Amino acid sequence: MKILECVPNISEGRDQAKISAIKEEFSKHPKVRLLDVSSDQDHNRTVFTFLGGPSEVKEAALSFASKAIDLIDMRGHRGGHPRIGAVDVVPFVPVQGIEMREAVEVARSFGKELGKRGIPVYFYEEAAASPERRDLPTIRKGEYEGLREKLGDPRWKPDEGPDAFNPKSGATVVGARFALVAYNVNLKTKDLALAKEIAKKVRFKDGGFPCVRALGVDLKDKGLVQVSMNLTNYRVTDIPTVYDFIREEAGKRGVDVEESEMIGLIPLTVLEGIVRHYIRCRQFSIRQVIEQRLLEFE
């Protein structure tokens, strides 16, 4: 059986009526399974995770995106997370029985259809049309506020859709990638400069850990700041590595970690690495988990 995962991020994390209406779109697609919906008010962002067969996932993603574009108006959007549009990013992730090239085909097909609906579309990661557009932060640089100017630059002509600025919906970044871990560490301080300083030290592009993207975010509702991260390959840089580093850097300034959080779903092997590190159970395997063995038995 071929299983493809889709993890779209929308620029709405506060209006529960809109989020619920968008979520309702999945009821029209019984062959896909919605696994998780994670909203964050400070980021003003919601992440959906669903999976199914490749064609069914593509159709559900188009239905989902159309509803989100209809309901979300970027002209009034404010939030702590970088974004370029109402449907900000739509990654497709091969899970079972499907090669990355097939995920790329779905991403390209989805992007083409979305472009026909009046949304400028850029392809990233494995679906990128050029090396310069492979990294999501590069495409999203300048964010929604800088999109009008970016679209006027011939070097940033969209891969699909119009090159005219759509003030209500912005643009969408579509791609195919491997499993990503969205992991955040909240610090017991309101010092945003500290969170930004630590984020700079941890992210790869500024000399930090490989396969780590990071930024400092002000969590006003919680009275905390956050080091928000994407681990693009958790086998290269895992959660214990970044958590220990952040805790140590914050501790140098007399700041403790309040908590950490994982956004959306993660591969089970992520937890395998945490167990091996923190309780020094070096030989631990997910195959020691009863539920995992039951799945294998089935």
DSSP run (H or E) holding 197: helix 192-202
**Annotation marks residue 43 as catalytic:** no
DSSP of 257-294: EEEEEEES---HHHHHHHHHHHS--TT--GGGSHHHHH
Indicate which residue of 29, 43, 81, 277 is catalytic: 81
156 in helix, strand or coil? helix
Q: Which residues are catalytic?
A: 81
